[in-house]
Structure 1
Amino acid sequence: MHRSTSSTRRACALGTTVALIGLTTGLGVFTSTAAFAADEPTSAVAPADTSSTNAPSSATDTTGTDTTAKDASGTATQTDATTTPATTGTTTDATTAPATTDATAPAPTTASPAPSTTTKDAPTASSSVTVVGSPKVGTTLFYKTTGVDDPRAVWTVEGAAPFVASSFEVTAAMIGKTVTVTVTGSAPGQTATATTDAVTEDVAFATETSYDAPRTIELTAGDTLDEVFGVSKGSGPVTYSIGYADPESVDPETDTPESYLPDDTTFDAATATLSGRVTVASVFDFTVVATNGTSTATEYVEVVVEPAKAVGVMAQTVNTSPTDLFDGEHPFTGWLIEPDGHVTTFKFPGDPDQEPTVTDGGQPTVQQGQSLWINGSPVDEFGNDTTRYDDEGNADPVTVTSDHATDQIAFDEDSYSTKVTFPHASTHVLTVAAQSVSVSFPVTVVPTAAPASTVGSVTPTVATAPKGQLAFTGADETAPIAWALGLIAAGAGLAGVRSLRRRRAQR
């Protein structure tokens, strides 16, 4: 309820419409007075006469801040404009204004409007802003506010001029700097600020790779590898490590990621460099993992090491059919003949749970009338199999010959090897050849108690293995490992036989 002023009371005392209109017009609140007229109480003064100007009034100063009145006993009574009952009707003429007979009636209130109390005139109790998005290169930042009307956002980057926008694009030029957003509202006091962490950039390699589409590096045994696997972008210090290309196919108890690197190479995690002289021909699959603490990138790598030129033949021979090897019933002896003629002897007890006896040296030996099963493959100077295959998967032919024409030489379809039977007791020299290289070695044929029947002189026999068979195992005709070499290496762990793990079937 509006409080009345002393000027208004004087206007009521005069009781003239002209004076009231003139007063309200002079104060510039005519419209406001009209709007609140229905709520105004009539003035508690006597009707207008010559003595009314000298009548006692309530103790109100010219500002209208004191609304006290005294009752008949002279005691001051505080009146509240909001509880004072209003008189029906509006004063339009001094002769018709109702008179008040109670001396304790409250003083009239002013017609001035009350101050506005909308939210725009008072600051919000709490204003806040939050940056939405991660401060990374290539991302767009937004903001979210509470307690801010009609927000206006100003973005600022360290060392750069601020600008107004509803969103913010993070660029590489901002790496290491923070981004600040300041939001102000339309009401006084509505302001809030938020600052991000330092801008970073996700690490990434120059080319996207996958297990099926790796980064491929092709080498020949004997080449020196010096390959860098650094990321092409990324902020902050980046660390590198080796990972598995196919984690589901490894045994973490026996394998480590580094064991899948090419043999004789090392990985420098500080420089992301793989270096060393590769000597083992195979296919090596692994990953290089880069991280900067906020992001991680993986590069799939495949290193293909092809064998060098063939320099000789690695021959293997056993004194029992390969179909009976490791059956638990047939002890046997095997010999590995290297390209330079060096021989290693293996004695297997027949029980697969027992370790074989390995002897450096020796010479293939067989009873008169008995047989040896022989296989071989061309190798380079590092012992890598250099067998070549045509488009149909057929391997280079391997031949076995003897200096004794009486020796019976034939290809054994069951074991994919060459079977040589020795009718006569003596020292025989066998030669295994492939790709224009060969190896020769002596065989001691021990006479039996009953000499074998004499065999007529015949032309020396040459056994040529059918293409696509001799250099393969019986289980997989496309495997690049000779059957005996694989068995002997697996059973005895010969130091000179290279690891052939992870070698793939024909690519």
Structure 2
Amino acid sequence: MKQSTPPALRRTAAFGATVALVAVSSVIGIGTTAAVADTAETSATSTSGAATTATTGDGTAPTTVVEPAAPTTDPATDATPTPTADPADTADGTDVTPAAGDTADGTDSTPAAGTPAESTDPTSDAAPAADAAVTWDQPSSRTNRIVYTVTAGSDFSHQFVAHGGDGPLEYGFAPSIGFDALKWFSWGDDGLLSGKPTVVGAYDFDVLATDTRNTATQYVRIIVEPGAAETIGAQVYSHEDGHNPSWFVSAGGDVDPSGGGGLVTAVPVAPGGSLWTSAAVFDHYSNPLNGPEMPSESVLTSSDPDDVLVWNADTNTWKTTFTARGDRTLTLTSEGLTMTIPVSVEDPTLAFVGSPTSNDVRTTAGKAFSEQFGTTGGIEPVRYSLQYSDGSEADPTHADARIPDHLTLDRETGVLSGTPTIAGDYRFAVVATSGTQTVRREVHVVVTPGATTHLQTFIGPNPQLLGNTTWGYGPGDQLIRIDGTGESATHEDVDSIPVRQGDSLYVKTTPMDAWGNATAPVEPAPGDPAPKVTSSIGSDQVTFLPSVWSTQIRFPHASVHTITVALDGATSTFDVSVTPGSSSSDGSLAYTGADESGPLAWALGLLASGAGLLVWRLRRRHG
């Protein structure tokens, strides 16, 4: 009877070979540590085999054997190996290796049938465990998952079973990131995944089977499909491409505009206009069976037989064109469910966007301005225009002081834009017209001055600058003499202002922006910043007179005096030529603090003298 080499004998041969290798290495001077370690590792690996169960021919109890991986020798049978000779051969080359089942003296040591084989391994009485891989019956990958389906609200249960391994298998479940699997599913290490999902979607799991040494993964996807149709709604669009305005109509007939603003009584449409309608069917858990499209060809009818209804199989929508004005009802049936849609066919009411009836806008001179006056309703196109506060139509091509300068209104878009430069308070109206409908929006625009860039200064012989001659600044800050009043006033450039020794001049100044707008009140109030006036001659007597908001300068010394005026970060200077002699004898009285002309504002005095108007024209002409 021929049998496999017993394990003990194989281990003996292995260890014997190792000892022989050590002896040879010592003779030729090679270290043995690495060889011993390597041989030991090889021996341990080679003893691993697949355990099988065999049944004898006479039906006796099975004998467990180990299928060898390679023959080995047990070092315990030869404690003193000879390093210079092969332990299997004699000196003359005769093979003396015992046959399988025989001892060294030739006696047969094979156990009788049914008798367990006796192990000769002194270190172990059992064969080492097998290293079996863990496998799944059905292949899968992250990109090719095994798919299971379940209906929303139904119970789901699946037992995952893998094979192989060196012992009992345990299972782990790794749900993909991006959904709350714990809300719908539960699992255990026995491989059972169960749950009752109610939200439609795809749920991915990585299922791991392991024996603690080997692991295999199965990739699965659970698709939750909608349940049976239970409720119906309708999506109604005013454009074929689905753009707003649009409305969602519930099964109860509530019409909810997509842009918000609350429920309306009916879907509005103009005579001759069209609406596009699609069903939205939901299950018990509000999962759409079809999203914005119909699940199948549905039925739509109108209470007005003149309306034209066309089904589009490519988009699963109905197009309804309405011919006559008035109210009607559309009836939509899908998936065995029916609902009604109220529709009002009339000219949509034209109105400006927003609830206020007027617009209050502020801007700054020299700053770009833009304001959109949008409307809703009406029949396109909508046209826009400007009206003055008295109701007269404004000509957009003609400048008018009743609206800010450099502002224009786009008649098609309703955008009022431009860069105004004249500060002021303006009131007018924007008018929108669509078909026979007209709506009006009152507009109040306040243009405030820009930052102070220079001073507008006037000099005269009395506090109110009344008289035939005054001085001021023209283009390029050139000192000018102004003669005359009103429209007949004239001017000429001068280098200085003449005055006799002992006489006085009065200075009035206003801060201005780059566009000639006063950045401070023309009629200042107590507490407003006052100008600071200084002279290059220390003996000059400078006195600010708040009652007339003017500065008096008296010149006791004859020479050329340089006067500097400063206010709000800007300055201006001018020269005064003081000539020797007595005070002027033109009959005017020295200023005593009394306002002999009455409570006239200095701005009125400027207009009376023509100085203000003249200087403003000069600056505008050369600006």
Q: TM-score range by the shorter chain?
A: 0.3 to 0.5
With structure 2 as the length reference, what TM-score do the two structures score? 0.38
With structure 1 as the length reference, what TM-score do the two structures score? 0.46
